[in-house]
Structure 1
Amino acid sequence: MAIRRLPLLAALLVAALTSACEPPLHVQLASAGESLPSPAFVIREPSRPEGPRYDLVRVSLLDGTPVWAIRARGSLGGPGPARLVYGVVPDGFEEVQPVLPLEAGRSYSIAVSGEGRGGLHVRVQADGSLTTAQ
């Protein structure tokens, strides 16, 4: 019986080691005062003080409907800007999903990926301010 468990244990160990090697990207609102129409976000990779490595940013409604996406033009896993403004395509990136306006009363998911992954859920309040959401 123990011999049959070995392949399962080996697969679990490989999955744990592989996912543990992926560095996290931390995504947060740039300030407590972020609001429509162009809130800013800060992206950090704690293991790299020189800047985060990412090549794709997707913003979508929580149901998965895309509202904006950008990707790096060049090599994958390169450095991206630490500060990102919604709807503004940074140097070295291109827009793959044209930006749609964020709407009051809606919640959105910001997903950043490259060498690592990270994300944030935000809610747009009735006054246009953004708060983090669960």
Structure 2
Amino acid sequence: MKMRALYLTSLLPLALAACQLAANIEVSGTVSAAVFIIQEEGLLWSGPATFDELAVVSAADGHQWRMTAKNNCAEKAPRIVYGQIPAGFTADRPAPALKEGRSYDVFVSGCGRIGKASFRIIGGRVVSI
């Protein structure tokens, strides 16, 4: 009985980790139209991700732009263009222009998902870093 309890206890972290899905974020586009493709990747499923929040942050300026779901986990937005708010989401403010040479992080969270990608604007293009 003691061994069984020990075995089940050792599986708990694995079970909890399996509940958290990775959100894979691909970045592309231009300084005026940065594009974020958001996909979930689980053990048995991959496809467009549901999430509650997306934030783009500049190391130089701090908070840059954030959008949140109007209804928790209700909408999927697999392709987001920076500054454009998809149906089912709202933004805290208009998105400031991205700047040449700056580095940015994009974060996705909520609905049991978490993800991060980094990019830089080089020659007017979005380059994943």
Which of residues 52, 63, 67 is equivalent to 2:64?
67
Separation in 2 of the partners of 1:66 and 1:38? 19
Deviation per residue, 1:47-81 (Å, 9 max, x gap): 3445211010000013571111000011x123321
Q: Determine whether 1:36 maps to 2:31.
A: yes
Q: Determine whether 1:119 maps to 2:116.
A: yes
State the TM-score, normalizing by the size of structure 2: 0.79
> For structure 1, which runs of at least 5 residues remain unmatched after alignment?
1-11
* C-alpha contact (below 8 Å) 1:73/1:93 kept by paired residues: yes
Q: Which has the higher strand share?
A: 2
State the TM-score, normalizing by the size of structure 1: 0.77
- Between the aligned residues of both structures, percent identity stands at 25
Q: What RMSD, in angstroms, separates the aligned Cα atoms of the two structures?
A: 2.4
Instruction: State the SS of the aligned residue for 2:92.
Output: strand
Matches within 5 A, 1:1-134: 17-30=15-28, 34-47=29-42, 48-49=45-46, 51-62=48-59, 65-74=62-71, 76-115=72-111, 116-125=113-122, 127-133=123-129
Instruction: State the SS of the aligned residue for 1:18.
Output: helix
Comparing 91-100 and 56-65, the one that deviates more: 56-65
**AA matched with 1:93:** F
**AA matched with 1:27:** I
Separation in 1 of the partners of 2:47 and 2:11? 31
**AA matched with 2:51:** Y
Separation in 2 of the partners of 1:44 and 1:36? 22
> For structure 2, which runs of at least 5 residues remain unmatched after alignment?
1-9
Q: Kindly tell me the number of residue pairs found equivalent between the two proteins.
A: 119
Separation in 1 of the partners of 2:101 and 2:67? 24
Separation in 1 of the partners of 2:12 and 2:26? 31
* C-alpha contact (below 8 Å) 1:36/1:128 kept by paired residues: yes
